[in-house]
Copies of this chain bind each other. A is one copy, B any other.
Amino acid sequence: MRGDVPKRVRVGVNGYGTIGKRVADAVAKQPDMELIGVAKTRPNFEAERAIAKGYPLYVTGGGDRSAFERAGLPLAGTIEQLLAEVDVIVDASPDKVGRENAARYRSAGVRAVFQGGEKSDVADASFTAMANYRVGQGKRSLRVVSCNTTGLARAASVIDRAWGVERWDATIVRRGADPAETNKGPINGILPTLQMPSHHGPDVRTVLEGLPITTLAVVVPTTLMHVHVNRVRLRHPPADAAEVIHRLRTSPRFRVFRSWEHVDGTPQVMEFGRDRGLGFNDVMENVLWEAGIGLDGPELHFFQGIHQESVVVPENIDAIRSMFSLAADAAESMRVTDEALGLVPPAARPTSMK
């Protein structure tokens, strides 16, 4: 660290694709952070956007400076120059590339936030705001767990605190590709993930130690969202599903749809996102359906949708805040983050049912 904690933490983003561009926007909206610049390997329409937004653009990943010049996109410098200007770098590189970058960040003396596509030992600790916000204190690097893991960790945090989780079984129905990843399939078919259990369960335990969760996964031909099918045995079950609905509805980063809203599945959730109009029309919350939450004695069943592109965005912000002690606790950090991002605080949400 560089002496006193700065009034506003200076943040760089290395990688400006699906995650990087969202994190950059999110940083730029925070009252206690300053976006110093973003780094990209090659020019494309996303690089144009960075310039249009006024984000200083740096070349990274062995990219060719002249390619940017030919495209008429002014560069502010190289990733090394960006690192010299920031307190912390958010690494939003493609999977496995973050690991290669880690040494560079260390030698530049900047803290780092990595994404869940890296193995957990890339950083000093793994992080999900609702699960283990305080873990960031004194750390030089954090890893925000993947979208599916973040979604599970959020839900498990709320449910375990409220009623105790005796056992959690989740089936993860994964989207095959992101919307613009046109080179990935499958076009027609279901692919079971023949790793049993899937890696998601152990990954949840990197932020919620000891959670008795087992996960299995399949991949399906959609680009919009993942869906989790959850079966949870509770130690101290609530009286009815309505209590679960109320608890989730009044927790940050959850959106529970009512039946009359006619949100039948992930396409309507994304349409809701377009209607709401946050940046990129993202849906950063865990999405649930009232009619998709059932309680059978101690057994809680529920579906949740996870928008793979955006669900980790607020977590990246909180991870920075945790490392730099910018908030008193998780609740404060999430409140600041979510307000800046335009998410409606739980207290302002409708609580009526059906």
Contact = CB atoms under 8 A, between A and B. Distances in A.
Interface of A: 21, 42-46, 48-49, 67, 70-72, 169, 171, 173, 175-177, 179-192, 194, 196-197, 214, 216, 218-227, 229, 231, 257-268, 270-272, 274-277, 279-281, 289, 291-294, 296, 299, 301, 303, 305, 350, 352, 354
Contact residues of A: prevailing secondary structure: mixed
Contacts of A267: 179-182, 186, 188-189, 223
Q: How many copies does the complex hold?
A: 4
A224 to B, nearest CB: 5
Given A173-B173, A184-B183, A267-B182, A190 B225 contact: yes
A280 B277 contact: yes
A21 B275 contact: yes
A219 B305 CA distance: 13
A150 B266 CA distance: 29
Nearest to A188: B188
Given A169-B169, A221-B220, A183 B185 contact: yes
A46 B188 CA distance: 20
Given A222-B189, A222-B220, A227-B218, A46 B292 contact: no
24 contacts: A45-B257, A45-B263, A48-B261, A171-B171, A173-B218, A175-B190, A179-B188, A182-B268, A183-B184, A185-B187, A187-B188, A188-B222, A189-B222, A189-B225, A189-B265, A189-B270, A191-B265, A192-B265, A197-B296, A197-B301, A218-B303, A221-B222, A231-B231, A281-B281
A185 B219 CA distance: 14
B177 A190 contact: no
A265 B186 contact: yes
B44 A194 contact: no
Centre residue among A191, A192, A221 by max chain B CB count within 10 A: A192
A224 B187 CA distance: 11
A86 to B, nearest CB: 23
A71 B180 CA distance: 36
A48 B350 CA distance: 11
A292 B196 contact: yes
Contact of A222 (B187, B216, B276, B350): B187
A166 to B, nearest CB: 13
Nearest to A302: B196
A95 to B, nearest CB: 16
